Amino acid sequence: MPSKKPVKKNKPTAVKKIVKKEPEKNVSKKKETITPVKTAAVRNVKALETLRGMKDILPKEEKYWLGLRRNAEKMCAAYGYGYFDTPILENAGLFIRSIGKGTDVIEKEMYVFEDRDGDKVALRPELTASAVRAYINNGMHTYSQPVKLWYFGPMFRHDRPQAGRFRQFNQFGCEVFGAHDPVVDAELIVLAHNFIADLGIKSTVHINSIGTLSERKNYISELVSFLKSRRSILCEDCKRRLLKNPLRCLDCKEESCKKNLEEAPQIVDWLEESSKNFFMKVLEYLDELSIPYVLNPRLVRGLDYYCDTVFEFFAEEEGEGGGVALGGGGRYDGLVEQMGGQPTAGCGFALGVERIIAVWKKMENKEPEVAAVGPAIYFAQLGEQARKKALYLLEDLRKAGIFVFHNLSKGSLKVQLESANSKKVTHTVILGQKEVQDGTVIIRDMESGIQEIIDQKKLRAKLEKILGKNQV
């Protein structure tokens, strides 16, 4: 890739400047981080904090995070989607060109900076643009179409953090390339709906069609005239949107703007027959599958690349999580071509993982309805000889793909059984001095307390049987 460096090298003064300044910069940086400065205690504490809007994920949340990811894996495998991922850092131009200059994501939220080569790079604020780049770069147009892909990973937006809004957050999403067919839009909506429903969360999908680029152009000029006639009563954000991205005024969250826009022209009246028919087909498929939806003429989605079907999922209005936007998506038929590929249809969605987990956590009496993660067995040992033997047996089990909880640094059986209880395992393997000498182990059923002595050689088969019952 052509870098800006050669140009800089032709300017000796600039080179001199860099050579002179860099060592000083490094020295002062080192001093700041390595030397303990008593007077700067506050600064040191700050260095240990996560950045605003970013957070750690801890083992106590494991069941949510791994459960959600595993459900995504299973669901996507069942629907025939292949896993893919893209770099977190990309050329800023990729996002600017695809998402659009006038959008909030590009204008206000994207993390953009120059890397050490002077290239303008950005942390991905969403993944569709990268998926399109990956589709073109990797010659996926030569694959059997449609190409169905899914991903699960972090995105970055420098927005004002608040409940449910982070600067680093995760999305689970799907993209389908190479099929301009309403059944694809419907399948994506069904997949996302079922994914959410499988967690026990009720959601409604809001859906709209924003038509083709030319239909939208005609509509936008009508919308702009309408908005101009009410400019003085629009919120400051909408005044700005009116110039840069008037469609966005339609889903402004300000109550006064919402009221103002009740009489705004509706895009559906600007759709031509083919776009209307396409949209009707999507709805028919959803009806067929009894997926609840709300026709929302104001739903436009914020990014430039969308066309035809757009949709957004909301947690249903019950309990505390009601009304939360869980995710959204839509069709982006022109994007591959716009980014330099062959004309290729595209459609996809992204769900917000943190938002879904937050709603999931708030649901009373509803533990995640996902299969238990990892081991359902605990291995307890007593005495030095047993510990050594346990090391060997655990390794043997691991090689066989059987994972068991254990804590070899603990010697007391009581402590280990307490630990087994806290892990909610169904069985504990106990190995003491006597069992080491006899070549046996005890298997304790944690619910009934019944213990069985078995030959160590039969341990693997026995655990496989137990795990077969308890693991999915």
- Contact status: 354 vs ligand AMP (CB under 6 A): yes
Q: Tell me whether residue 211 or residue 302 sits nearer to ligand AMP (CB atom).
A: 302
SS3 call for 93: helix
- Contact status: 379 vs ligand AMP (CB under 6 A): no
Which of these segments, 5-13, 73-81, 156-164, 213-221, binds ligand AMP (CB under 6 A)?
156-164
Q: Tell me whether residue 141 or residue 165 sits nearer to ligand AMP (CB atom).
A: 165
Smallest gap from residue 309 Cβ to ligand AMP (A): 14
Residues 6+ apart with CB under 8 A from 16: none
- Contact status: 126 vs ligand AMP (CB under 6 A): yes
- Contact status: 352 vs ligand AMP (CB under 6 A): yes
CA 124, chain centre distance (Å): 12
**Among the listed residues 159, 254, 316, 337, the single contact to ligand AMP using CB under 6 A:** 159
- Contact status: 330 vs ligand AMP (CB under 6 A): no
- Contact status: 169 vs ligand AMP (CB under 6 A): yes
- Contact status: 146 vs ligand AMP (CB under 6 A): no
Smallest gap from residue 367 Cβ to ligand AMP (A): 22
459-470 helix and 384-399 helix, angle to the nearest 10 degrees? 60
- Contact status: 174 vs ligand AMP (CB under 6 A): no
What string of DSSP letters covers 150-199? EEEEEEE-----BTTB-SEEEEEEEEEES---HHHHHHHHHHHHHHHHHT
- Residues touching ligand AMP: how many (CB under 6 A)? 16
CA distance 393 to 330: 52
- Contact status: 321 vs ligand AMP (CB under 6 A): no
CB-neighbour burial class of residue 364 (10 A; exposed 0-12, middle 13-18, buried 19+): exposed
Tell me which amino acid residue 144 is: S
- Contact status: 350 vs ligand AMP (CB under 6 A): yes
Which of these segments, 228-236, 321-329, 393-401, 460-468, binds ligand AMP (CB under 6 A)?
321-329
- Contact status: 325 vs ligand AMP (CB under 6 A): yes
Residues 6+ apart with CB under 8 A from 105: 95, 99, 125, 126, 157, 302, 303
Q: Which residue is nearest to ligand AMP (CB)?
A: 352
- Contact status: 341 vs ligand AMP (CB under 6 A): no
Q: Tell me whether residue 196 or residue 397 sits nearer to ligand AMP (CB atom).
A: 196
- Contact status: 171 vs ligand AMP (CB under 6 A): yes
Q: Which of 148, 174, 144, 2 is nearest to 72 (CA)?
A: 174
Instruction: Show the tokens assigned to 419.
Output: 């630990």
DSSP summary character for residue 295: E
Instruction: Give exposure, 228-254, as e/b (b: 16+ Cβ within 10 Å).
Output: eebeeebbeebebbbeebbbbbbbbee
Residues 6+ apart with CB under 8 A from 265: 219, 222, 223, 226
**Among the listed residues 75, 129, 261, 326, the single contact to ligand AMP using CB under 6 A:** 326
Site of interaction with ligand AMP (CB under 6 A): 126, 157, 159, 164-166, 169, 171, 325-328, 350, 352, 354-355
